[in-house]
Amino acid sequence: MGSAQALPERIDKDTAERVAGRHFCSTDFDALATQTPGFISREQLLEAARVRNLSFTLREKSQKKFDFGFVAEEKEDA
């Protein structure tokens, strides 16, 4: 499994949606992306998860988590 630090500094909407899964909100993303249209920072994503009380520990049985595993897999393939 990956970690939050495996994410790039700038995250596009598709990546944010893949990471957040069912927790993704397009309206919230757009509101956060006002400074850099189409992108948010890693810190903004982490803060959005924190205020929603979502876990970044990536425990297998957690029902409230973002999935960073695909990020680590993509880096290994590169």
Is position 62 within any domain?
A: no
For residue 2 the two structure tokens come to 């990956």
Is position 76 within any domain?
A: no
Is position 61 within any domain?
A: no
* More confident call, 61 vs 54: 54
Q: How many whole angstroms separate alpha carbon 38 and alpha carbon 52?
A: 22
Number of domains in the chain: 1
Q: What does the pLDDT look like over 10-50, one tens digit per residue?
A: 999 999 988 888 888 899 999 999 999 999 999 999 888 88
Q: What is the pLDDT of residue 30?
A: 93
Residue 22: domain span = 9-55
Q: What is the pLDDT of residue 14?
A: 93
Is position 1 within any domain?
A: no
Is position 38 within any domain?
A: yes
Q: How many whole angstroms separate alpha carbon 40 and alpha carbon 49?
A: 13
Q: What is the pLDDT of residue 56?
A: 54
Is position 14 within any domain?
A: yes
Closest to 13 measured CA to CA, from 3, 22, 4, 33? 33
Whether this prediction's pTM lies above 0.75 is answered by no
Q: What is the pLDDT of residue 2?
A: 56
